[in-house]
Amino acid sequence: MKFNHVANRLAAAHFETVVALFTDRLGFVVLRRTERAIWMRQPGTNVDLQFSRSDTANRDADKLRSQISFLSLTPREDLESLAAWLAEQGLAATIGAYSDREFYLDAPEAFVDFVIEAMRPELAEYEVKV
């Protein structure tokens, strides 16, 4: 088997706003779209992201452990910029920290089972032997 994509759920009411965040602010391109889901990829990467519309009223209490993660030299500032954009769209977002090098953004009304993480690149420097 070969790894293809990761799927997360979005509140149906905020689906288009979050898709716009990923396409307009983070440069993702749409690969495929149905009535209930969308598949996207950020150019230069090789793993796809799928969002599915969800009518789930409750949110996962442990969703801080489930992230869509990005590398950044300025992780907190980048997430603050995304949070400000979401606020301009009428969607409240908060920033938290796992450490002084890894931060997360949560938009609880929209993100059902994940947060957006940004971390310093050195945290992803793994010694992998292929």
Specify the pLDDT at position 93: 97
Bridge-based pairing of strands 102-106 and 94-97 is antiparallel
At residue 62, does pLDDT exceed 90? no
**Long-range contacts (CB closer than 8 Å, 24 or more residues apart) made by 76-82:** 76/103, 76/118, 78/118, 79/103, 79/104, 79/105, 79/116, 79/118, 81/25, 82/21, 82/25, 82/26, 82/116
Domains in the chain: how many in total?
1
Does residue 128 lie in a domain region? no
Look up the domain containing 57 and give its range. 5-123
Q: What confidence category does residue 116 fall into, taking pLDDT thresholds of 50, 70 and 90?
A: very high
pLDDT at 58 over 80: no
**Residue 36 confidence (pLDDT):** 95
Helix or strand or coil: residue 55?
Answer: coil
Instruction: Band the pLDDT of 9: cuts 50, 70, 90.
Output: very high
Residue 89 lies in a domain: yes
CATH of the domain at 27: 3.10.180.10
Whether 97 is in a domain gets the answer yes
115 belongs to a structural domain: yes
